Amino acid sequence: MHFQQNKAVHSEGQEMLLAQELYLKAVLTDTLALFGGLTVVFCLLKFTWKCWCGLRQFVLSEHWQQDLRTYGQWADLPEWFLLARRGLDVVLVGRSDVKLQMVAKEIRNEYGRKTHTIQVDFTEGGGIYSSIAKELQGLQIGILVNNVGMTCTDHFAYFLETPDAEQKITQIINCNIKQTIQNVFYIFICLGKGLIINISSEAGVRPHPLLALYSATKIFVTYFSQCLHAEYKSMGITVQCVAPLMVSTNMTQNMQVNCLVKSAAGFAYKAVNTIGHSSYTSGCLSHALQSAALSLLLPDWLRMSTFFVRVLRNVPNIRTYQRAESEEKEWSSAKKK
Ligand SMILES: NC(=O)c1ccc[n+]([C@@H]2O[C@H](COP(=O)([O-])OP(=O)(O)OC[C@H]3O[C@@H](n4cnc5c(N)ncnc54)[C@H](OP(=O)(O)O)[C@@H]3O)[C@@H](O)[C@H]2O)c1
């Protein structure tokens, strides 16, 4: 009798334990399901938000173009033609006076906008900025585009392979860093309210071996722009950072335009449309997609590996590549004949 009672108590206890265990399991399963559900919802919301930002920045921006004249009447530095077309007077800054005068004449004739030219070489550094500021006095500058930039070499090279290293390093720092800071500093005084566009690069998004100095100067431009934007947006000054990939210009030996490489005019058109829609942009949809693909397909561990650096070092420079390609074409057409 006593034994049977004990057995009943024992099985009751076991049942309770089992029930407790089942209850805990159910709670755990529910919690995990809830957590999983929330994660999925969060990821979906994040993905939808990113898609919306991309759509707004690169597609809808073509129709919702911001009235750039709200920033001020004058724009300083390139995208000259585009800014003139959008109703702004333009200050042109560059090294060659002949080229500046030619562009100025075209802008006046084609768009009926006023122009002002300043001949300057930003590699010089030093006192050029106070003279630029003097030239700009009295102009209501509304947009500043910091576009000037240079690389060490026209191909992937080790830092110590930089030709005329000492001089080149100073020039690059003057052109890519000092120019950005000083222009911003002097023009800020005129701006009060306005827009600064700093051109960085995909090379400034992640470290790029064999472009060491260029990459480092561009991450400077990126961070500088983002910090300034955070500091001054509430005071009416917008700082936009544009980080493109490949654009066919003098810097890239006017390489062939294709689905990956944009033409300068095509890129500038798309990039100007993003004004007012994003403070940090790749400039166009193709470059934004390429940037996302690169971060997935070329993760840091691979890009920074000695193996990859060696492979990259052996990539021929664009000029050699184009020459080889045209020789190849000539050779195959000669064979056909
Ligand atoms: N091209 C690309 O694939 C690419 C990719 C990513 C980022 N970026 C960035 O985009 C910006 C523009 O590059 P880009 O390819 O258009 O270069 P670019 O063709 O060499 O030059 C762009 C402009 O800068 C002026 N400039 C160059 N050096 C100058 C100097 N020392 N002093 C005064 N003006 C100078 C040029 O005027 P003059 O030569 O007529 O004097 C030209 O109007 C740069 O900041 C570059 O780092 C370019």
**CA 175 / ligand 1 centre spacing (Å):** 10
* pLDDT value for 326: 55
Instruction: Report whether pLDDT(320) > 70.
Output: no
| Backbone phi and psi for residue 59, each to the nearest 5 degrees, phi listed first | -115, -60
Q: Where are the extended beta strands (E) located within 221-269?
A: 237-242, 247-248, 262-263
**CA 252 / ligand 1 centre spacing (Å):** 10
For 216-238, write each residue's pLDDT tens digit.
Answer: 999 999 999 999 999 999 988 99
Q: What is the largest CA-CA distance in the chain?
A: 115
- Mean pLDDT across the chain, nearest whole number? 86
In the chain, % helix, strand, coil (3-state, to 5) comes to 60, 10, 25
Average pLDDT over residues 16-33: 92
What's the pLDDT band for 12 if we cut at 50, 70, 90? confident
Q: Determine whether the shortest distance from the Cβ of 283 to ligand 1 is under 6 A.
A: no
Measured distance CA(150)–CA(35) in Å, rounded? 49
Q: Which of 24-28, 211-215, 316-320, 324-328 has the lowest mean pLDDT?
A: 324-328
* pLDDT value for 128: 86
For 143-175, write each residue's pLDDT tens digit.
Answer: 888 989 999 888 899 999 999 999 999 999 999
Q: Determine whether the shortest distance from the Cβ of 253 to ligand 1 is under 6 A.
A: no
Which of the following is catalytic: 71, 214, 223, 280? 214
| Catalytic annotation present for 214 | yes
Mutate to test the pocket of ligand 1, among 81, 98, 221, 250 (most ligand atoms within 8 A of CB): 250
Q: Determine whether the shortest distance from the Cβ of 256 to ligand 1 is under 6 A.
A: no
**CA 242 / ligand 1 centre spacing (Å):** 13
Atom 36, ligand 1: which residue's CA is nearest?
A: 94
For residue 246, which atom of ligand 1 is closest to its CA? 3
- The CA angle 213-219-223, to the nearest 5 degrees, is 150
Atom 47, ligand 1: which residue's CA is nearest?
A: 149
Mutate to test the pocket of ligand 1, among 148, 178, 270, 294 (most ligand atoms within 8 A of CB): 148
Measured distance CA(180)–CA(282) in Å, rounded? 19
* pLDDT value for 185: 83
Kindly give, in sequence order, each residue whose CB lies less than 8 Å from that of residue 88, ignoring residues fewer than 6 positions away: 68, 69, 73, 74, 75, 113, 142, 143
Q: Determine whether the shortest distance from the Cβ of 148 to ligand 1 is under 6 A.
A: yes
Q: Is the CB of residue 76 less than 8 Å from the CB of residue 117?
A: no
Domains and CATH numbers, the chain: 60-313 (3.40.50.720)
Measured distance CA(279)–CA(184) in Å, rounded? 16
Average pLDDT over residues 16-42: 93
pTM above 0.85, yes or no: no
* pLDDT value for 138: 80
The percentage of residues in the chain with a pLDDT greater than 70, rounded to a whole number, is 87
Average pLDDT over residues 309-322: 76
Measured distance CA(54)–CA(169) in Å, rounded? 37
Kindly give, in sequence order, each residue whose CB lies less than 8 Å from that of residue 81, ignoring residues fewer than 6 positions away: 103, 106, 107, 110, 111, 265
User: CB count, 10 Å around CB of 132?
Assistant: 19
Strand partners, 76: 91, 144
Q: Determine whether the shortest distance from the Cβ of 122 to ligand 1 is under 6 A.
A: yes
Mutate to test the pocket of ligand 1, among 197, 242, 251, 294 (most ligand atoms within 8 A of CB): 251
**Nearest alpha carbon to residue 224 among 272, 177, 187:** 177
Q: Determine whether the shortest distance from the Cβ of 123 to ligand 1 is under 6 A.
A: yes
For 60-106, write each residue's pLDDT tens digit.
Answer: 888 888 888 778 777 765 555 666 677 788 888 888 899 999 989 98
- The CA angle 97-100-104, to the nearest 5 degrees, is 140
Average pLDDT over residues 176-185: 88
For 186-214, write each residue's pLDDT tens digit.
Answer: 777 677 778 999 999 999 999 999 999 99
* pLDDT value for 280: 96
Give CB contacts under 8 A, 24+ apart, made by 321-328: 322/253, 322/255, 322/256
